[in-house]
Amino acid sequence: MADISMVINGREVRGSVEDRTLLVHFLREHQGLTGTHVGCDTSQCGACVVHVDGKAVKSCTMLAAQASGSEVTTIEGLAKDGHLHPVQAAFKEHHGLQCGFCTPGMIMAAVDMIRRYPGGLDEKTVRAELEGNICRCTGYHNIVKAVLAASEAMSKPAVAA
Amino acid sequence: MYQTTYHRPSSVAEAVRMLGEAADGKFLGGGQTLIPTMKQRLAAPSDVIDLRHIAELKGITVSGRDVRIGAGTTHEEVANHSGLAAVCPAICYLAGHIGDPHVRHMGTIGGSISNNDPAADYPSAMLALNAMIHTSKRALSADEFFTGLFGTALDEDEIVTAVSFTAPEKAGYAKFPNPASRYALTGVFVAKRPEGVRVAVTGAGEDGVFRATAIENALSRSFEPSVLDGIAMPADGLMSDIHASAEYRANLIVVMAKRAVQAANG
Ligand SMILES: Cc1cc2nc3c(=O)[nH]c(=O)nc-3n(C[C@H](O)[C@H](O)[C@H](O)COP(=O)(O)OP(=O)(O)OC[C@H]3O[C@@H](n4cnc5c(N)ncnc54)[C@H](O)[C@@H]3O)c2cc1C
Ligand code: FES
Ligand code: FES
């Protein structure tokens, strides 16, 4: 067994898990954070994407023990004070989902992508950057629209209410 | 996944010792090959020794045209390193086209070359750049290091610590990615130096990465895509699978070599 500790969505958590436990299983089964999904067993679909120390990773391809000592952000950690994160809001507005199974991973990938392209994104870049996230429903079109809209919205300086 | 025991050393010496004490241990780099393989129960190491917290394996140094990349450097770090891009942009391009962003955040150059997947990108760069592979025991040329399909000269308890090379005059990489996995269906890395051109092919050879001498000789005469017009690569020794026949890969080698030269010439 491995004794692990990490900060998940700003909250310090500790646990004792089998060494072989994947991060995604620690999140879903030990922490009850079932927003992070498992869509494949080959590390290809991206439904499990979370941020570890600020970077998007596949939580099905990392042991929980490897993440010990890290800061983890999951889809549950994005909304603040009851307000959707701009990327969540853009997916809602632009109908960037159908069944919603891929959506948590898509949104975590999109937040990471927007962080890495502070100068803005174009359609070609968004499509290439979504290489690690598979959607079986939407045909990607509205996902791409949502990411572009969110990137645009987030680059605007915040206006005081 | 079968049971395993996780270890987190903080130095190369400690990692080597931990592997020595394990019944059937394996080093864990970024885990982007080893963890999927363990999930499929195709690997079942008794112990995994995590190399991600070893400072001496990290970082890129560029002095003049001499490059050294620590084995624990991620694909993302190689893709976005401005010093490296200034002397050898082809390797940044290659790293930026491995898998997807999430894989690039974790996967490392040391893990990729130690695994020597016949469709991996980095082995072609190491061979074409005539890189040295530094390990916990010795330093080997890329020609000596890669020994066949998933094969390397590494001993069980030997860690790749870094790779180094002198940036060539020009270099370029072109891959035809498998549309599903992004691994190379065929990829070609070319490196031009005053003494000649080296050309390495990945994704195509039955024994893994190899040098295409006919293409090297032609490009050493003139470093232009058009000198490859009449060249036909033999299909002998190339892979045939559900994705592509050996003949198709033979043709792709020439096409990718031309694109790589074009990329190198800017
Ligand atoms: C969805 C997906 C797509 C991918 N697409 C591509 C692609 O397009 N092109 C490509 O080239 N690769 C691709 N990969 C593989 C990826 O590049 C891996 O990161 C790489 O092959 C292994 O590196 P790693 O650091 O993750 O190593 P690990 O998976 O941790 O280890 C791989 C092997 O190397 C050994 N090892 C690791 N580090 C060292 C070291 N320093 N010294 C000695 N032995 C070591 C391990 O024991 C293990 O046997 C893909 C992977 C995935 C999951
Ligand atoms: S569950 Fe499919 S990539 Fe992680
Ligand atoms: S919305 Fe159903 S898989 Fe993407």
pLDDT, one tens digit per residue, over B38-50 is 999 999 999 999 9
Q: Tokens representing A150?
A: 């969110």
Convert B28-71 into a string of H (helix), E (strand) and C (coil): ECCCCCHHHHHHCCCCCCCEEEECCCCHHHCCEEEECCEEEEEC
C-beta atoms surrounding B6 within 10 Å: 21
Q: What is the CATH superfamily name and number for domain A86-155?
A: [2Fe-2S]-binding domain (1.10.150.120)
| Partner residues linked to B26 by β-bridges | B48
Question: Is B9 a residue whose pLDDT tops 80?
Answer: yes
Sheet-wide strand order for A49-52 = A11-17, A2-8, A71-73, A49-52, A55-58
Which residue, among B83, B65, B92, has the nearest Cα to B173 in the 3D structure?
B92
Residue A149, chain B, CB below 8 Å: the answer is: no
Mean pLDDT, residues A1-9 taken together:
97
CATH 3.20.20.150 for the A2-77 domain, yes or no: no
The rounded distance, in Å, linking the Cα atoms of A46 and A103 is 10
| Partner residues linked to A58 by β-bridges | A49
pLDDT tens per residue across span A92-128: 999 999 999 999 999 999 999 999 999 999 999 999 9
Considering chain B, tell me which residue range(s) the CATH 3.30.43.10 domain(s) occupy: 5-50
A19:B4 CB<8 A? yes
Residue A48, chain B, CB below 8 Å: the answer is: no
What fold, for B170-264? Enolase-like; domain 1 (3.30.390)
User: CB of B239 closer than 6 A to ligand 1?
Assistant: no
In this predicted structure, what is the pLDDT of residue A44? 96
3 state DSSP class of B169: coil
Q: Please state the φ and ψ torsions of residue B14, each to the nearest 5 degrees.
A: -65, -40
Among A58, A63, A65, select the one facing B102 at the smallest CB separation: A58
How far away is chain B from the Cα of A124, in angstroms, using its nearest Cα? 14
- Residue B84 to residues B54, B89, B98, B121, B140, Cα–Cα distance (Å): 22, 7, 17, 17, 22
For residue B109, give every residue at least 6 positions away whose Cβ sits within 8 Å of its Cβ, in sequence order, or none: B69, B71, B73, B75, B78, B95, B122, B163
Mean pLDDT, residues A75-96 taken together:
97
The DSSP secondary-structure symbol of B110 reads: H
CA-A136 nearest atom, ligand 3: 3
The rounded distance, in Å, linking the Cα atoms of B113 and B109 is 6
Computed over every residue of chain A, the mean pLDDT equals 96
Pairing mode, strands A49-52 and A55-58: antiparallel
B5-50 in CATH: which number?
3.30.43.10
Convert chain A into a string of H (helix), E (strand) and C (coil): CEEEEEEECCEEEEEEECCCCEHHHHHHHHCCCCCCCCCCCCCCCCCCEEEECCEEEEHHHCECHHHCCCEEECHHHCCECCECCHHHHHHHHCCCCCCCCCHHHHHHHHHHHHHHCCCCCCHHHHHHHHHHCCCCCCCCHHHHHHHHHHHHHHHCCCCCC
Considering chain B, tell me which residue range(s) the CATH 3.30.390.50 domain(s) occupy: 170-264
Distance of CA A21 from the midpoint of ligand 2 (Å): 15
Could you say which residues from 108 to 137 on chain A have a Cβ atom under 8 Å away from some Cβ of chain B? Answer: 109, 112-113, 116, 129, 131-133
Q: Among all residues of chain B, which has the CA nearest to that of A125?
A: B101
How far away is chain A from the Cα of B31, in angstroms, using its nearest Cα? 7
The rounded distance, in Å, linking the Cα atoms of A99 and A39 is 13
At B179, the pLDDT band (50, 70, 90 cuts) reads confident
In this predicted structure, what is the pLDDT of residue A158? 57
Q: In which residue are the tokens 């003949």 written?
A: B247
Mean pLDDT, residues A144-160 taken together:
86
Percent of chain B with pLDDT over 90: 98
Q: Which helix (H) or strand (E) holds B202?
A: strand B196-202
Which residue, among B179, B159, B261, B178, has the nearest Cα to B216 in the 3D structure?
B261
Pocket test for ligand 1, best of B98, B106, B136, B175 (most atoms within 8 A of CB): B98
Considering chain B, tell me which residue range(s) the CATH 3.30.465.10 domain(s) occupy: 57-166
pLDDT tens per residue across span B80-125: 999 999 999 999 999 999 999 999 999 999 999 999 999 999 999 9
Domain parsing of chain A, residue ranges: 2-77, 86-155
The rounded distance, in Å, linking the Cα atoms of A20 and A104 is 24
Mean pLDDT, residues B215-224 taken together:
97
What fold, for B57-166? 3.30.465
The rounded distance, in Å, linking the Cα atoms of B168 and A57 is 33
Mean pLDDT, residues B141-147 taken together:
98
Q: Among all residues of chain B, which has the CA nearest to that of A52?
A: B105
In this predicted structure, what is the pLDDT of residue B152? 98
How far away is chain B from the Cα of A84, in angstroms, using its nearest Cα? 24
| Ligand (nearest to CA of A37) | 2
CA-A59 nearest atom, ligand 2: 4
Computed over every residue of chain B, the mean pLDDT equals 97
Mean pLDDT, residues B73-81 taken together:
98
Q: In which residue are the tokens 């043709």 written?
A: B251
Mean pLDDT, residues A6-24 taken together:
98
C-beta separation of A142 from A96 below 8 A: yes
Question: Is B181 a residue whose pLDDT tops 90?
Answer: no
At A159, the pLDDT band (50, 70, 90 cuts) reads low
A133:B36 CB<8 A? no
Distance of CA A104 from the midpoint of ligand 2 (Å): 12
Q: State the best of B5, B51, B53, B100 to mutate against chain A, taking most chain A CBs within 10 Å.
A: B100
Q: Tokens representing B73?
A: 């450097």
In this predicted structure, what is the pLDDT of residue A157? 65
The rounded distance, in Å, linking the Cα atoms of A39 and B22 is 33
Question: Is A160 a residue whose pLDDT tops 70?
Answer: no
